[in-house]
Structure 1
Amino acid sequence: MGRPDKATRAAISQRRADAIDMRLAGVDWLTLARKLAADPATNTDRIPYPQGYGIERYRKGQEPPTDTQLIQAACKDVREALKERRTDLDEKADDLREVENARLDRLFFIAYRQAVKDGNLAAIDRALRIMERRARLLGLDRPNKTEVTGADGAAIEITNVALDELEALIGITEEAARGSE
């Protein structure tokens, strides 16, 4: 079985889009799966859905998929559709990053030239801001490492506390707060 033709791929894409729309509308998995089933006996509209779930079985005159199989197919469709959307969004974001990077190049060139030529402090500041923006855009900066320690850099001791002990500590803290008022 080779790659589906263009019309089949379009029908599958539409089925996936319909599946996502129904899930977003709060439709449960079984209802969704039956609505998108190929076999009219299974389909809730009693109309075969184009490229619906169980299409090969329907074409061969076999028993339709079980409810569990229909639900698994619907889950797979939603997963695949979300993956495709994420991929599309990632590609669009990469394209936008390239455009923004090109814009930053043009702006940086102007600010850098003024900063170096004239020693213009405002141009130096502007060039640095453009560099900082580019580093954020491209993820060039390493995250700050934060370490939490106890007094004088000692390790912090973590202990389990029972609920009644915690409530007693809270009570003590509340009394101390009231006493300092």
Structure 2
Amino acid sequence: MGRPDKAQRAAIARRRSDAIDLRLAGVDWLTIARKLAADPAVNSDRVPYPQGYGIERYRKGQEPPEDQALIHAACRDVRKALDDRRTELNDDVDEMRALEADRLDRLFFVAYKKAVRDQDLAAIDRTLRIMERRARLLGLDMPTKTEVAGPDGGPVHVANTTADELAALIDLTDQADS
């Protein structure tokens, strides 16, 4: 089997989309697999699904795949389609991030000119806000280090507590709140 042509790739993309739609609708894996099978003998609609599961076997006149093989193919399709959608979303987010960075650059230029030229405190504040927003958008700020310490900066003591001890502590807290 060679590389699928454009029409075959479109049919495979359609099959994957149909598989996701069926799965989102709560349809079980075997029903999805049979609905999207190439061989009308196992296809629940009794028609060959274009580029359906088991298409090569169907074209060669061989027996259709077993249910487990059909289920495996449906699962693989849904996983691949979800991965593709995730990649598309990540690409969209990256594109939007770049667009927002360009917008911030334009706004920064205007505010910066006014801040430097006029020594306008409001423009300086605006310039700083734009810089802060750009740093958050692009992840330029260093992460904040958080450290938990016990009394006088010493270690935090952790003790094992039984469920009964924990329940007693909760009861004491509830009584104190009353």
What TM bracket, shorter-length normalisation? over 0.9
Q: CA deviation at 1:49?
A: 0.7
Aligned amino acid, residue 152 of structure 1: D
Aligned to 1:14: 14
CA distance in 1, matches of 2:177, 2:51: 68
Across the two proteins, how many residue pairs are aligned to each other?
A: 178
Compute the displacement of 1:153 (Å). Answer: 1.7
Q: CA deviation at 1:18?
A: 0.3
Give the Cα separation in 1 of the matches to 2:105 and 2:90.
Answer: 22
**Counterpart amino acid of residue 166 in structure 1:** L
> How far 1:142 moved relative to its partner?
2.5
SS of alignment partner, residue 49 of structure 2: coil
Who is 1:65 aligned against?
Answer: 65
CA distance in 1, matches of 2:72, 2:86: 21
TM-score (norm: length of structure 1): 0.92
In 2, the alpha carbon distance for the partners of 1:93 and 1:171 equals 49
Q: Mean Cα displacement is larger for which, 56-65 or 105-114?
A: 56-65
Which of 133-142 and 47-56 deviates more? Answer: 133-142
Residue 172 of structure 2 aligns with an amino acid whose one-letter code is I
Identity %: 69
Structure-2 change in CA distance of 1:145 and 1:46 (3 Å): same
Q: Structure 1 residue 53: deviation in Å?
A: 0.6
- In structure 1, the partner of 2:50 is 50
**Correspondence 1:144 to 2:177:** no
Equivalent residue number for residue 170 of structure 1: 170
Give the match for residue 87 of structure 1: 87
Deviation at 1:162, TM superposition (A): 1.7
Q: Please state if 1:31 is matched with 2:44.
A: no
Instruction: Say which SS state the counterpart of residue 34 (structure 1) adopts.
Output: helix
- Per the normalisation by structure 2, the TM-score is 0.94
